[in-house]
Structure 1
């Protein structure tokens, strides 16, 4: 479930950045905040098994 949650966080961040039309580069941007949170979520509390599953899922993504 953790891998699925990480994937959802990354996809949500990518969507937020896409619709922000470049505004995510600003420090106060909510899209940038979502992206930074997704990054932290993806690496904090990472175990070897979760890391392997996350990388395997990223390799399968188009």
Structure 2
């Protein structure tokens, strides 16, 4: 019998690297690293979200890449 692990989404609480406002990100579990750009809901500036396979989240300014 094959057992499969059910992967669930997780919420990550971070802060905008521009304005410092708290942000809540929904992280989809993946076996590979993820990187995407998301706009801050408060200041509308683009921030880069970096997610490792073990779901460690880093958020940084787009102009820091």
With the length of structure 1 as denominator, give the TM-score of the two structures: 0.24
Higher strand share goes to which structure? 2
Q: Which structure has the greater CA radius of gyration?
A: 2
Task: Compare the two structures and name the one with the higher helix fraction.
Answer: 1
* More contact order relative to length (CA 8 Å, sep ≥ 6): 1
How does the TM-score come out when normalised to structure 2? 0.24
